[in-house]
Structure 1
């Protein structure tokens, strides 16, 4: 439809209750045309101007506007969206310019296509003397909303599907603001004088100026499926919210949102930092949330006055400022980290997490679990960055990295570790029948030696790396790994022995195999009963969490009973006795040690982190399969052990780790155990 006009007729007007101008080609010749000039008897309750092509005036398309004048009665609802301005043929726009459509003071400068150039700068201003209870709906192309200082009667704003809307000023008497499927920024100051209700859904707040949300009193703020940016500390100054509901949101803020005076409800959301200035909360409901950063300082004395709290057990909180100490007992992990986020590209962490899930075939059952795993992943990324930075400053060769454990909490990871150190037999123990020739072997050995490169009849001496899963049966895996080498070297049999049999049958009294065990007890069990093969007694990491599961009497023996000799090399001779035994006998040595938290993210290099508590730590076991030396970046030479672990090939150097040698790192050289056949 092509419609040409100067004005709507004002003589004997027909009353109009609703006027919609949509999808038209509007032609005008007036320098300042007016679309609507209604008499007192003609005042539509709504006006829509959408998807039209509108002529500019013949003069300058950067200054022309179309007036929708209704002096005494303005519509209660304006909809202005997706219109295009067309300049006169004889005066085309060469550069992008502002074309404005004015509706009784609402000037929406829209993104318009002018010849071959796009008018990109847009402004919508709302002046003073608005009628009371008017509502504005902004759709589509309008890019800037400006409200004059005196426009205090404007009560409602609804914003739908705008790609880039800058809100310059909010009216003082605004009661309702609803934003849906839009990207907006708050650039001007706000001075609301009446309580307001805000709802922002499926939207992104692009930016908030230093005073963009100041001096507000909100009855409620409901954020749903939203992304909020970094918020300057002054943005919400003197603002107060009575009920804050955050659902399914991603908050990048590191500053207080508002002073919450009544209720906080936070569901299924990810927050990059703790909201440090939430004020006194009467009631808090926190469910399935992930807080990725915590305050740098523990605000334990901050007055929260929390009367009631509904804390869902799946809530993964790692901050101090919002909850009192009594809540900490309900949390899995009280450690907290400061997330080093890229504020310009926060999506990087999501991309890295998706790549992590693909690489390690991670599949989560629910959105809530995915959210929780993301939180653990971000913590791990941050930990890795800090550890690598410290390692470089010390001049170490240790490199830390993301592995399959990156989405686990500390509590989950520690399930594969023992909580108590194993007992070490005294020198008078009756089981000490290790041949004395071991101690008399030559002390000559090369600087570097690795059993992984040694073979018997083309079969490797060191078997494949296994994975103990979520079961603290590392002691059983260390024993079988050592005895598999004994079988290969002495009897020339390449067999994988049953870790599950040891976990089921050789645990300490009144304990289960998955709660930890003893190297010496495992070896004693094998010497008494022998050991079956992995093939006929396979491993399942959940099986040994219960007692009474031993089925050894039903399985054929692969490692023979009664032929095992065990020795306990002494700490004071470890620097030469350990490597001498490994090199000359071509057999590994089993060890146990206290575990520093950083071992979880070890990737390569010589590991030397001594952040382990011998008296109250968690413990692990493995086998030494070699030794060597390497030069550090600072020129110093560092000795190391090569240890085979039981966390799978996706950890460390394909399941192995180099550990600092000669310093009894985390007690590792103190309780070593060597095994051989007693008739060799």
Structure 2
């Protein structure tokens, strides 16, 4: 027995056009429309409709294209009101999402779609991959469905330092006469097991806390010679460093380092990331981990870990943060001697699409309206450098850096970016710090 909306069945039986017995044999090929290979029937709007020569009725379970396709005449009654998309009819005012844009079926049966630039832009991906830019673009699925505006608002989150902080004294590292730096260096090769993998800030505009915690984790591990290897807690900074900071709505690097020096933070195991989603109403999560002074500049936690499975609530601290000169040789020497450094960078619309290679900002959005060109300030951890000869013979010098968009983005959560020309401001504000490590810390793990 074939299926059909009930109302149609009633009308059909009333119309008494055809005995149901004859209907069973409807699928005889000679009655099918020419050129169809679907046994005269196909599912349509949740029922089976027919495409054979019995179809020529005014009340119909026929396929919507029966009259045009089989008989070459317009249908004798108006088709279902709505708009077609992907083989489905949507009623008037029905909607579907196309990436980050909502499309609505208008009364004139035309789709009307929002025109927001999307964070994942297939046209831009194609243009980058067809150009000779030295890197490849792709769709990072966590970004699908977000607008470019949301990407800038929720995935970055470092406030540009004030001019006072930007004018902070730079510490100049002097290269000895005749000192030659290697052409390639990677922190994780010099300090195996002490360089931590990138975390994922999700839709929390908290790169100020993530990059600070990431650099401090590596530096504490290196400077304690591996006796302490904490992954420090970005959440501790997001929730507790509230002086002129805005948690998942952005913050300042100088404030984050001040907090790490004066108050200290616990490990990420002890105080895990709670991942505030974008647009979430209500207050930010309260601070769960305070610390108090215990003499000699050291501090201890005043509470148990918010993660009840972990007992180790040690507080980790750093010495005062210092700024490096923006000459790439000085940054390289510091990195090689003391560990990864923190860098501010300007993130443009194409950086979200980075999949691999040596990044530099491309001109592919220049021909498009202003709203397709957006940028915001971000902070990352530089972990090494190298150089690569491109197929056309050019040599590109690059930094390697860890982002905080999880391990699925870029090159396992890392990226390479052109070095020595202040690409995206990456060399304009670079910070280093020492883990605060006493003799007693060297004794226990």
TM-score surpassing 0.5?
yes
Q: For the Cα contact (< 8 Å) 1:520–1:673, is it kept in 2?
A: no
Q: Is the 8 A contact 1:477 1:646 kept in 2?
A: yes
Are the counterparts in 2 of residues 245 and 266 from structure 1 also a CA contact under 8 Å? yes
The Cα offsets for residues 216-241 of structure 1, whole Å up to 9 and x where unpaired, read as xxxxx31xxxxxxxxxxxxxxxxxxx
Cα deviation digits, residues 386-408 of structure 1 (max 9, x gap): 44543344323312223331433
Q: Secondary structure at the match of 1:593?
A: strand
For 1:428 and 1:47, locate their aligned partners in 2 and report how far apart those are by CA, in whole Å.
90
Q: Which of 319, 342, 355 is the aligned partner of 1:564?
A: 319
1:317 aligns with 2:200: no
Tell me, yes or no, if structure 1 residue 468 matches structure 2 residue 223: no
Which of 484, 487, 506 in structure 1 is aligned with 2:217?
484
Q: Deviations over 1:497-555 (max 9, x none)?
A: 1111111122452x521011111211111111122222222221129983582232335
SS in 2 for 1:651: coil
**What SS is found at the alignment partner of 1:605?**
strand
Please list the CA deviations of residues 18-53 of structure 1 after superposition, one character each: whole Å capped at 9, or x if unmatched: xx9xxxxxxxxxxxxxxxxxxxxxxx95443856xx
* 1:389-428 equivalent positions in 2, closer than 5 A: 389-410=126-147, 412-413=150-151, 414-418=153-157, 420-423=159-162, 425-426=164-165
Residue 515 of structure 1 aligns to a residue whose secondary structure is coil
Q: Does 1:549 find its partner at 2:286?
A: yes
Query: In structure 2, how many angstroms separate the alpha carbons of the residues matched to 1:185 and 1:197?
Result: 11
Q: 8 Å contact 1:629–1:637 — kept in the other structure?
A: yes
Deviation at 1:639, TM superposition (A): 1.2
Deviations 1:229-271 (A, max 9, x none): xxxxxxxxxxxxxxx3248x5259xxxxxxxxxxxx955xxxx
Structural mapping, 1:19-418, within 5 Å: 46-48=17-19, 50=21, 81-82=25-26, 109-110=30-31, 161-162=49-50, 176=58, 178-179=60-61, 184=66, 186-187=68-69, 189-190=72-73, 197-198=77-78, 221-222=79-80, 244-246=81-83, 249-250=85-86, 266-267=90-91, 286-291=93-98, 316-317=102-103, 334-335=116-117, 380=120, 383-384=121-122, 386-410=123-147, 412-413=150-151, 414-418=153-157
Decide whether the 8 Å contact of 1:507 with 1:522 is kept in 2.
Answer: no
Equivalent position SS for 2:384: strand
**Structure 1 residue 603 corresponds to structure 2 residue 355:** yes
Of the three residues 625, 648, 663, the one matched with 2:406 is 648
Give the structure 1 partner of residue 433 of structure 2. 675
- Please, which runs of 5 or more residues in structure 1 have no aligned partner? 1-19, 21-43, 52-78, 85-97, 99-108, 112-119, 124-139, 144-158, 199-220, 223-243, 253-264, 268-284, 293-313, 337-378
Q: Is the 8 A contact 2:325 2:331 kept in 1?
A: no
| Displacement of 1:592 | 1.9
Question: Who is 1:102 aligned against?
Answer: none
- TM-score normalised over the length of structure 1: 0.48
Q: Compare the two structures and name the one with the higher helix fraction.
A: 2
1:149-177, Cα deviation, whole Å (9 max, x unpaired): xxxxxxxxxx9643x6599xx99xx8x46
Matched, 1:523 2:276: no
Offset at residue 588 of structure 1 (A) = 1.0
Per the alignment, do residues 184 and 645 of structure 1 end up closer, same or farther by CA in structure 2, a change over 3 Å counting?
Answer: farther
With over 3 angstroms needed to count, the CA separation of the structure-2 counterparts of 1:627 and 1:559, relative to structure 1, is same
Q: 1:583 offset after TM fit, Å?
A: 1.6
Structure 1 residue 317, shift from structure 2 partner: 3.2
Query: Partners in 2 of 1:660 and 1:166 — Cα distance?
Result: 68
Would you say the 8 A contact 1:110–1:141 is kept in 2? no
Does residue 634 in structure 1 map to residue 392 in structure 2?
yes
Partner of 1:661: 419
Instruction: Give distance in 2, aligned partners of 1:547 and 1:122.
Output: 63
- Residue 631 of structure 1 and its aligned partner are, at CA, apart by 1.6
Matches of 1:643 and 1:539 in 2, distance apart?
22
Please, what TM-score do these two structures have when normalized by structure 2?
A: 0.71
1:424, 1:520 within 8 Å by CA — same for their partners in 2? Answer: no
Map of 2:240 onto structure 1 = 505
Q: CA deviation at 1:191?
A: 5.6
**Aligned mates of 2:337, 2:105 — CA distance in 1:** 54
Which structure has greater strand proportion?
1
Give me the CA root mean square deviation.
Answer: 4.2
Structure showing greater relative contact order (alpha-carbon pairs closer than 8 Å, 6 or more residues apart): 2
The answer to whether the aligner puts 1:446 opposite 2:182 as a matched pair is yes
Give the conservation status (yes or no) of the 8 Å contact 2:358–2:415: yes
| 1:343-395 deviation digits (Å, cap 9, x = unpaired) | xxxxxxxxxxxxxxxxxxxxxxxxxxxxxxxxxxxx94xx34x4454334432
Aligned to 2:294: none
Aligned equivalents of 1:627, 1:620: Cα separation in 2? 20
Residues 199-229 of structure 1, C-alpha deviation per residue, up to 9 Å, x if partnerless? xxxxxxxxxxxxxxxxxxxxxx31xxxxxxx
2:442 alignment counterpart: none
| Contact in 1 for aligned 2:67/2:74 (Cα 8 Å) | no
Instruction: Pick which of 534-543 and 445-454 moved more.
Output: 534-543
Query: Secondary structure at the residue paired with 1:618?
Result: strand
Contact 1:629 1:638 in 2 (8 A): yes
CA shift in 2, pair 1:318/1:395, >3 Å: farther
Residue 376 of structure 2 aligns with which residue?
618
Structure 2 unaligned spans of 5+: 1-12, 42-46, 292-301, 304-312, 439-445
**Conserved 8 A contact 1:425-1:520:** no
Q: Say if 1:481 and 1:251 are closer, same or farther in 2 by CA, change over 3 A.
A: same
